[in-house]
Amino acid sequence: MDQTKRQPRKLGWRFVLIALALALLVSGLVRSLWLDVYFIPSASMEPLLGTGDRILVSRTDFIGEPVRHGDVVVFDGRGSFAPLSSGASPLQDALATAGHWFGLTGSDTTYVKRVIGLPGDHVVCCDDNQHLTVNGQALAEPYLYEGDVASKQKFSVIVPEGRLWLLGDHRSMSADSRSLLGAPGGGMVPLDRVIGRPVQIIWPLDRFAAVPRPAETITTTKDGQ
């Protein structure tokens, strides 16, 4: 009699464990192939993305359609923005992976920035009106954080084939391609390191909103004004 009573309870726990395993498997497939969740740990992309935002990132937006000027991209910064090895212990790596998986923490090797330069572009800061120029055309940058200038750091770079030149929207708070001038790779991020594009802010709820993709090109300023 005792065995008969205990059998349904055992089956119940097995069902829960199987359902949990299947849910994790489906979630893993979705996050690896379609949509993933990322945590924004800094103010470098304000006002578009704020510190503490959780965002959905589409892994499919750039399949069949190339990255273009003005796109906001999430990318793996290993070998460009981040060192190849962080030196963290296995336990620290495991905790960091778990935190990233649940959207609770950021990743030490994953970044989000805006595409300013595509392969072959000549990006310069700045013209006489303090605008960035790409191939001699001054850029209108309506996404810049209020009060920020295009860049206080002067530079003139030609983006190699297969690479991107990336900047944050909150320029005074952003460590980006400018910060790595003179370093190996010069702050140029390989195209194949792009993970995807932010499509939705999902947390906090008062910031719940779609993240629209900008027009096909960054609008240039009229007559450099």
Q: What is the DSSP string of 78-90?
A: BTTTB-S-----H
- What pTM does this model have? 0.77
Segment 58-74 shows an average pLDDT of 93
**Residue 192 host element (H or E):** none
Per the prediction, the chain carries an average pLDDT of 81
Q: Is the pLDDT at 107 greater than 90, yes or no?
A: no
pLDDT band at 167 (very low <50, low <70, confident <90, very high): very high
> What pLDDT, on a 0 to 100 scale, did the predictor assign at position 108?
76
Segment 119-159, tens digit of pLDDT: 999 999 999 999 999 999 999 999 999 999 999 999 999 99
Segment 158-169 shows an average pLDDT of 97
> What pLDDT, on a 0 to 100 scale, did the predictor assign at position 83?
57
Helices (H), 119-224: none
Q: Is the pLDDT at 61 greater than 60, yes or no?
A: yes
Residues in the chain: 225
Q: Is the pLDDT at 32 greater than 80, yes or no?
A: no
- Partners of residue 72 on adjacent β-strands: 114
The DSSP secondary-structure symbol of 202 reads E
Type of residue at 133? T
Q: Is the pLDDT at 28 greater than 50, yes or no?
A: no
